[in-house]
Amino acid sequence: MKTLRVLVLASLVLALAAQTLYASGNNRKGTGGATELLIPVGARDIAMGGSTISTTFGIEALFWNPAGVAKLNNSASLLLSHMNYIADIGVEYGAVAANFEGFGVVSFSVKSLSMDAIDVTTTQNPDGTGQTFKPQFLTVGLSYSRQLSDRIAVGVTGNLITERLGDVSTNGVAFNIGVIYDNLGEVPGLSLGVAVKNIGPQMTFDGPGLYRLATVNEQSRPSQLYKIDAAPFELPSTLEFGLGYKSSIGEQSSLLLASTFQNNNFSGDEYKVGAELAYNNMLFLRGGYSMSPKNQTDEYLYGFTAGAGLNYQMEGLTISVDYAYRSVKFFDGNNVLSLKLGF
């Protein structure tokens, strides 16, 4: 009970901090950057609408709540995932995790965006110079997760962010911190999750692309290069609370219900719900829905999600294949395919 009081107190402190940090989020649209940090990965959790802050587990939890990685069922795990994102952008993701007995779980992840080449344009050549460039967005993460007791798991992730757009680039770091409490209030199957994501210093673009040839008025000197100082931008930080409940249905089936409230510092609040029906821990059917009441009319892109999964276990190896579909307004829906191996 003492541990529960500490957890509730910590959650209240985070909530009060969020009122200060994120209260004006809906009025700051378009002023942040590094939004690739918000692109989800992992078909299982996407199929449940991203509602799994309190129920995510194993290597897929790295993006959603690093505390859930402490519930790794194997000594080591590998995850590969691909998403057809909006506007012909692909999202590639890979992660490995290893469980060290008595120490915790250490994980490494890489997420990159792939897109077609873009024509280089200038003020003198608005239709293109004949040259092209390919934007590069890469996020590399290192995580540590630990099961403090049979009920409490904690995790932290440090992400290195790299962005390159033509002749300008920027680098930054961001941190995610999460907690999961199982059997909340002595209720079997009831869980609480809290996660603070993308906390870090501002980022600024730099590079030769910021130099411009110009002449200073009223000075007798020829044209020369001057550097434009790019304005710094903040990371898209979020604070998320979630509740989940899992119940058995007969001897071989179970039903998992999950919900999450997400507070954003650069957009309106989001509400997410999801469910997973499992049969014999082998076949899974999933669905979910996300909404943002302040932006739902014409600005919020996402809605319902659905997916399925197949889990096959053999001696010394677990193979999981998961698929998810996420509806997107104005664009084709997102298709996500994940392969997970447990050793």
pLDDT band at 47 (very low <50, low <70, confident <90, very high): very high
Span 22-45, mean pLDDT?
77
CA–CA dist 201, 33 (Å, integer): 12
Amino acid 245: pLDDT: 98
Nearest to 46 by CA among 11, 91, 107: 91
Torsions phi, psi of 59, nearest 5? -65, -25
Question: Does 314 score more than 60 pLDDT?
Answer: yes
> Which residue's structure tokens are 């873009």?
118
pLDDT tens per residue across span 108-156: 999 999 988 888 887 788 888 888 888 999 999 999 999 999 999 999 9
Q: Is beta strand 317-328 parallel, antiparallel or unpaired with respect to 334-342?
A: antiparallel
Question: Does 5 score more than 60 pLDDT?
Answer: no
Question: Does 283 score more than 60 pLDDT?
Answer: yes
Span 11-21, mean pLDDT?
48
Amino acid 122: pLDDT: 79
Span 28-56, mean pLDDT?
90
Whole-prediction pTM value?
0.89
Amino acid 297: pLDDT: 59
CA–CA dist 69, 186 (Å, integer): 23
Q: Which of 76-85, 185-194, 223-232, 238-247 has the lowest mean pLDDT?
A: 223-232
pLDDT band at 12 (very low <50, low <70, confident <90, very high): very low
Question: Does 278 score more than 90 pLDDT?
Answer: yes
Question: Does 64 score more than 80 pLDDT?
Answer: yes
> Which residue's structure tokens are 């649209």?
29
Span 97-114, mean pLDDT?
96
CA–CA dist 11, 194 (Å, integer): 7
Token duo for residue 6: 């500490």
Cα 225 to Cα 7, 14, 191, 240, 273, distances in angstroms: 56, 47, 59, 46, 54
Q: Which residues pair with 168 in a beta bridge?
A: 165
Amino acid 287: pLDDT: 98
Q: What is the dihedral of CA 103, 72, 199, 41, to 10 degrees?
A: 150
CA–CA dist 313, 276 (Å, integer): 19
In which element (H, E) is residue 147 found?
strand 136-147
Fold designation for 2-201+232-342: Porin (2.40.160)
Amino acid 142: pLDDT: 98
pLDDT tens per residue across span 198-209: 999 999 999 998
CA–CA dist 204, 217 (Å, integer): 29
pLDDT band at 26 (very low <50, low <70, confident <90, very high): low
Span 24-51, mean pLDDT?
83
Long-range CB pairs of 246-255, under 8 A, 24+ apart, other chains included: 246/55, 246/189, 246/191, 247/189, 252/279, 252/280, 253/277, 253/278, 253/279, 253/280, 254/278
Secondary structure (3-state) at 58: helix
Amino acid 31: pLDDT: 67
Amino acid 20: pLDDT: 45
Amino acid 194: pLDDT: 96
Amino acid 60: pLDDT: 95
Q: Does residue 58 contact residue 73 with C-beta atoms inside 8 Å? A: yes
* Domain assignments of the chain as residue spans, ordered by start: 2-201+232-342
Q: Is beta strand 238-249 parallel, antiparallel or unpaired with respect to 190-199?
A: antiparallel
Span 53-81, mean pLDDT?
96
- DSSP labels, 84-135: E-GGG-EEEEEEEEEEETTTEEEEEEEEEEE---EE---SS-TT--S-EE--
- Amino acid at the residue 148: L
